[in-house]
Structure 1
Amino acid sequence: MPIRTNNYLNVISLHLLLGVFLFVFRPVSVVYAIFILVGGCYIIIKNKNRNNEVLFCAAYLVGAEVFLRMTKGNIGNEFAKYGVIIFMLLGIYFKGISRKSIPFWFFFLFLLPGIIYGALNLSFDVDIRKAIVFNILGPVCLAICSIYAVDKPFRLTDFEKMSRWMLYPIAAMLIYLFLYNPNIRDVVTGTDSNSATSGGFGPNQVSTVLGLGMFLVFSRLLFFSKNIFVIVFNVCFLLALSYRGLITFSRGGVYTGLMMIIVLLLAVYPFVSLKGRFKINLVGFFLAVFGVGVFTYSVSQTGGLILNRYKGEDALGREKASKFSGREELAASEFEMFLENPITGIGVGKSKEIRKEMIGIESASHNEITRMLSEHGMLGILGLIILLVTPLLFYVNNKQHILLFSFFIFWLLTINHAAMRIAASAFIYSLTLLKVILVEKPVVHRE
């Protein structure tokens, strides 16, 4: 078995043990969080970011974020976003930035008026710092990640390494979920998102990371699994992630993971040989069969309630009034705020306060697009245009980036159901901007 394969399986095994250890000794999770941050900075500084160590360290922290929150290891709610920003700033220091990053400097500048306007207009009884940081740190993290990532060379071997680093802590979280709630039937009583099956944490965010894990394992099956033992291991890993993702009863992450896989297959298919297409067809067929099996097993474990959830029905089989758990009402209120304040917006952090006055619901936004519109106004529209258009323009001269559309779809779908609660959406978006090199151009030797 190749050394890299051994390394992957050995480190996954260590992280499964880590998940067990933190389940038994949960307070140690804080030490784990500090180790990630300090260890990441050490690796980047020691190597002077020669091989884009920033991306691997950030990938690990992104994979660990929800697990840290679940085990109370976060040093502050936004620990992972601050950590990713620190890694990226170190990367910029050692490796500089490309001139092509200019659109994201503008995106960053477009955020500033909304921050100032929000600070001036928030009520006195609101913690202004927390209200602003909660809403703006995700976009700031995205801007800094993107400024670093633009046009950085990235090879398929780099993706192999990055996918490993991100999957390690996801494996630890997965075993923690099984230990936290081994018997699903004991805790499932309805069709709403279920924190009891999500490690006691937000099902939406847990589902998001599990869906991302599904894509990463599938990509490893497609590109990097060369022997039968690793193939069987990754299939089992993928099925376990899919099952735990389903029984969170939060659909967004599962749908996103599936869409990323489908988009990847569509992106790869035209560029492979007949033999490669046969492999893709075979992998797709077996995974579809296994997927049906996992869903059927989930239906049996939940007494049919998971089927009702995906059909938009309640526990009694009646159609729910809201197909999106009330998120459409939140988005509609923010769009109304934008129409009333189309130029300046209402200011960062203000939407939650105004929503309570408008419709009596005190809830943070789940949709980053409508939040950008309501809180940033016209500058929010310009910022969104930059985010939507720039990766597609880069693709014109970066056709080898077969992962671009999968990363892009993750960001786009995730910000529509989970806003930018976690660092994953910011970091994964920035990966669309890398200069991916699958086939090296031949060196021309002159006589």
Structure 2
Amino acid sequence: MINKFTDNKLLLIAIHIIIGYLATFTWFPKPFGLGVIGFCVFFVVKAKNNNEESFLLAMYIAGAEVFIRMTKGFVFYETGKYSVILLLILGIFLGEFKQKFGVQYIFYLLLLTLGIVFTQVPDGESIRNAIVFNLSGPVVLGVAALYFYKRPIKIETILNSLYFMILPIFSMIAFLYFRTPEISEIVFGGGANFETSGGFGPNQVATAIGVGIFIIIVFIVLKVKLTGFLFLDILFLAYFIFRGLLTFSRGGIITGFIAMIFFSFFYFLHKKGSLKLFFNYFLIGGIFIIAIWVYTSNITGGMLDNRYAGKNAIGVEKKDITSGRLDILEEQLNSFLISPLGIGVGNGKFKRELSDKKITAASHNEAGRLVEEHGIIGVVILVGLMIIPLLNFFYFNNLQRAFIISFYLFWILTINHSAMRIAFPGLVYALSLIKIKENDYNTSIENE
């Protein structure tokens, strides 16, 4: 059944572009959001996860989460994360493969709950919302790690999963096209732009687009046509980069390019004597990106240059190019020194609101949140999460490392600019734990 989707890639891409247009109508998002979740659960149960349907559809939901959120297609804000968790749990119990759970991730989930003991919220605030907002992402990571830990996955399946993930990102890109005003009417400044992000959080939108850019480049590098036509893949790549730059949100775009560079490097390193080819690709890609950058910068009146250079609208360098994230991180570290046992899940935001330093934003840095709210236990969790995938990385050849390191980098970079607001970083972290299988498809790639 999965083959019916993967054998008709261009058709499904076209359908998802149409879905992006339909999402501009208020009657469409809710039925679409509910229908997607219902279909995914039904499909996994019916197929009994015989062909990694849980994995593929969890990737689809993770790719769709920002799009469905921005169109208000979810009943609950965290529905995307709940759905990913449900699909992976179903996959664990329904599938033929008997997963051997990584005991370290069972302890990880248990340790997360200890931070709830210290949680206290101001009057009028919901303790449930505070806990869910901060722990739903880490729980996705834990459940996904239990599913994927040393799980044998073919490279063909990985590529299929990336294809499933990018489908709803095509819908989001189409939605942005139809919802964004004329560029000439938009006033660009020194901050992230909501008008070019569909009225939704530019940080999350740019993160999703950065993922899409990475996926298209992976297909191009491996000489596997995403749409069936190379020129069309390149055309979509150019437009994805253009839309990503227009959000004026830097983290997701930079993360996508860093992951792409490391993926390409290890892939070409695997093809012995191909470092020269890597640099040739790098040079051509650099010229391609510069051309898109120059075009985008011109239509934004040069504001794109200021944004990425950390300057405000008049060209004056900002004191903090991280948009306040360093101030929050400094407060989190100070809080850890004062309360090394942690201050409780969700308390960080409220603690800053009560301070006289006017730093009220919720944490965009998951590492800082873990250290502040979970204390020493948070430090142990963070160190463990960082080390385990690296051990997996050294086990494989360079072709397999190309996937492992890019998944790992996506996780560690995303949680440092966008915390775990969406399911993607937790899910992609778990992909750095898989055991990539050698197979005929793998061999065909190597012999390209």
Q: Same fold by TM (over 0.5)?
A: yes
Residue 26 of structure 1 aligns to which amino acid in structure 2? Answer: T
Q: Contact conserved, 1:160 with 1:224, CA < 8 A, in 2?
A: no
Give the equivalent residue in structure 2 for 1:90: 90
Shift of 1:352: 0.7
Residue 370 of structure 1 aligns to which amino acid in structure 2? Answer: G
Cα-to-partner distance string for 1:164-193 (whole Å, 9 max, x where unaligned): 111110001101111111522311331110
Cα-to-partner distance string for 1:397-429 (whole Å, 9 max, x where unaligned): 344343011011111111011000011111111
Matched, 1:357 2:358: no
Cα-to-partner distance string for 1:381-403 (whole Å, 9 max, x where unaligned): 11111110111112233443430
In 2, Cα distance between equivalents of 1:223 and 1:247: 28
Give the equivalent residue in structure 2 for 1:389: 387
In 1, Cα distance between equivalents of 2:330 and 2:54: 38
Q: Contact conserved, 1:97 with 1:150, CA < 8 A, in 2?
A: no
Q: Contact conserved, 1:252 with 1:414, CA < 8 A, in 2?
A: yes
Give the equivalent residue in structure 1 for 2:446: none
Listed as ranges, the matches of 1:104-253 within 5 Å are 104-118=105-119, 121-225=120-224, 230-253=229-252
Residue 46 of structure 1 aligns to which amino acid in structure 2? Answer: K
Q: 1:333 is matched with which residue: 315, 320, 331?
A: 331
- Extract unaligned runs of 5+ from structure 1: 443-447
**Structure 1 residues 15 and 327: alpha-carbon distance in aligned structure 2, compared to 1, 3 A threshold:** same
Q: Contact conserved, 2:9 with 2:228, CA < 8 A, in 1?
A: no
Shift of 1:4: 7.9
In 2, Cα distance between equivalents of 1:228 and 1:132: 41
Q: Contact conserved, 2:265 with 2:402, CA < 8 A, in 1?
A: no
Give the equivalent residue in structure 2 for 1:422: 422
Cα-to-partner distance string for 1:58-90 (whole Å, 9 max, x where unaligned): 111111111111111122110100000000110
SS in 1 for 2:153: strand
In 2, Cα distance between equivalents of 1:40 and 1:289: 41
Shift of 1:225: 2.9
Q: Contact conserved, 2:266 with 2:401, CA < 8 A, in 1?
A: no
Cα-to-partner distance string for 1:234-289 (whole Å, 9 max, x where unaligned): 11111111111111111001110110110101211221155x66664544333221
Q: Give me the CA root mean square deviation.
A: 2.1
**Structure 1 residues 5 and 349: alpha-carbon distance in aligned structure 2, compared to 1, 3 A threshold:** closer
Q: Contact conserved, 1:27 with 1:73, CA < 8 A, in 2?
A: no
Give the equivalent residue in structure 2 for 1:445: none
SS in 1 for 2:436: strand
Q: Contact conserved, 1:210 with 1:241, CA < 8 A, in 2?
A: yes
Aligned pair count reads 436
In 2, Cα distance between equivalents of 1:286 and 1:53: 37
Shift of 1:6: 6.0
Q: Contact conserved, 2:9 with 2:227, CA < 8 A, in 1?
A: no
In 2, Cα distance between equivalents of 1:100 and 1:267: 29
Give the equivalent residue in structure 2 for 1:347: 344
Matched, 1:366 2:364: yes
Listed as ranges, the matches of 1:263-282 within 5 Å are 263-274=262-273, 280-282=278-280
Cα-to-partner distance string for 1:283-332 (whole Å, 9 max, x where unaligned): 43332211001100110110000101111111111111211111111111
Over the matched positions of the two proteins, sequence identity in percent amounts to 34
Residue 45 of structure 1 aligns to which amino acid in structure 2? Answer: V
- Extract unaligned runs of 5+ from structure 2: 444-448
Matched, 1:292 2:293: no
Cα-to-partner distance string for 1:109-157 (whole Å, 9 max, x where unaligned): 1101101221xx3233321100111011110111001111111111111
Shift of 1:30: 1.0
**Structure 1 residues 164 and 420: alpha-carbon distance in aligned structure 2, compared to 1, 3 A threshold:** same
In 1, Cα distance between equivalents of 2:280 and 2:170: 26
Q: Give the alignment's TM-score, normalised by structure 1.
A: 0.93
Q: Contact conserved, 1:246 with 1:298, CA < 8 A, in 2?
A: yes
SS in 2 for 1:402: helix
Give the equivalent residue in structure 2 for 1:22: 23
| Structure 1, 391-400 or 77-86: larger mean CA deviation | 391-400
**Structure 1 residues 137 and 41: alpha-carbon distance in aligned structure 2, compared to 1, 3 A threshold:** same
Q: Contact conserved, 1:181 with 1:197, CA < 8 A, in 2?
A: yes
Residue 434 of structure 2 aligns to which amino acid in structure 1? Answer: L
In 2, Cα distance between equivalents of 1:418 and 1:364: 10
Q: Contact conserved, 2:10 with 2:228, CA < 8 A, in 1?
A: no
In 2, Cα distance between equivalents of 1:227 and 1:385: 37
Matched, 1:432 2:425: no
**Structure 1 residues 377 and 282: alpha-carbon distance in aligned structure 2, compared to 1, 3 A threshold:** same
Q: Contact conserved, 1:142 with 1:429, CA < 8 A, in 2?
A: yes
